[in-house]
């Protein structure tokens, strides 16, 4: 993993090492059972060949198959911003609503813009998080996270921020550095404010690249709840 870098050598080294850099893709099951996919990922975004398009599509289809789903089962896709590593597989979701921050309506045909602090489903709220680019939004989810701990099924209730590139990764967040290597980078001050806002609002952050991480305590229950993340 090549993490935080200060200049364009970071991008060059990543390409030389074959580190693709496709975004995190998060599946949310809302309180009403609606399936919402956040970003669609796209590895090696500089490679527009048919082979790479096919490989990316099959990778995402395979991830959905692993939880018993197909792209047609997804009710809505929320795009945090327009970069190809987050949007490159959007064409797979012809049956879903395409949602994102309002300025994306002019960039992505068929997408419906959603306002800041608007709910797109029960317990799933949009939060505008500019900085990485001007038009960027994250989702804040009141979630029930289920899993096996020491042989017992348990549930943790938590506020989860699905951050997109408002938080690139845990290592970028912990370092205090701001990733500003994209040519359309908007504002260092806004980027710092957005990442800290999400960290204050959520106990768990799912960054745009890399594994989720904990920012604060969260509550445990003894039984499964109806909404949450997969």
Q: With respect to residue 87, please indicate whether it lies within any of the assigned structural domains.
A: yes
- C-beta separation of 68 from 59 below 8 A: no
pLDDT at 21: 67
The structure tokens listed for 129 are 């998080």
Residue 65 belongs to some domain of the structure: yes
Look over the chain and give the mean of its residue pLDDT values, rounded to a whole number.
86
Is residue 152 assigned to a domain? yes
In a domain, 133, yes or no: yes
The predicted-structure confidence for 60-96, as pLDDT tens digits, reads as follows 999 999 999 999 999 999 999 999 999 999 999 999 9
The Cα 41–Cα 93 span in angstroms is 13
* Number of domains making up the chain: 1
Whole-angstrom CA distances from 230 to 55, 66, 75 are: 23, 11, 15
160 lies in a domain? Answer: yes
Domain for residue 4, yes or no? no
Among the ranges 158-162, 213-217, 219-223, which has the highest mean pLDDT value?
158-162
Structural domain of residue 132, as residue ranges? 9-225
The DSSP letter of residue 149 is E
Residue 230 within a domain: no
CATH code of the domain covering residue 209: 3.60.15.10
Length of the chain: 230
Task: Say how many Å lie between the first and final Cα of the chain, rounded.
Answer: 24
Task: Identify whether 52 is part of a domain.
Answer: yes
Tens of pLDDT, residue by residue over 164-173, are 999 999 999 9
Instruction: Determine the Cα–Cα distance for residues 206 and 200; give it in Å rounded to an integer.
Output: 14
């Amino acid at each position: 993993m090549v993490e935080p870098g200060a200049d364009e050598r970071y991008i060059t080294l990543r390409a030389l090492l074959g580190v693709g850099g496709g975004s995190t893709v998060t599946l949310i099951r809302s309180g009403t059972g609606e399936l919402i996919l956040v970003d669609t990922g796209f590895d090696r975004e500089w490679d527009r060949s048919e082979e790479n398009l096919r490989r990316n599509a099959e990778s995402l289809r395979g991830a959905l198959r692993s939880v018993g789903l197909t792209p047609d089962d997804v009710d809505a896709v929320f795009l945090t911003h327009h970069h190809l590593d987050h949007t490159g597989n959007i064409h797979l979701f012809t049956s879903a609503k395409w949602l994102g921050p309002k300025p994306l309506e002019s960039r992505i045909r068929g997408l419906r813009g959603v306002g800041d602090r608007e709910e797109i489903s029960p317990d799933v709220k949009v939060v505008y998080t500019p900085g990485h680019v001007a038009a960027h939004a994250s989702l804040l989810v009141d979630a029930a996270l289920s899993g096996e701990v020491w042989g017992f099924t348990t549930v943790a209730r938590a506020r989860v921020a699905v951050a997109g590139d408002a938080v690139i990764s845990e290592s970028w967040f912990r370092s205090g550095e701001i990733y500003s290597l994209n040519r359309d980078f908007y504002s260092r001050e806004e980027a710092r404010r957005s990442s800290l806002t999400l960290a204050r609002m959520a106990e768990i952050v799912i960054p745009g690249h890399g594994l989720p991480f904990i920012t604060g305590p969260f509550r445990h229950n003894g039984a499964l709840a109806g909404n949450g993340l997969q």
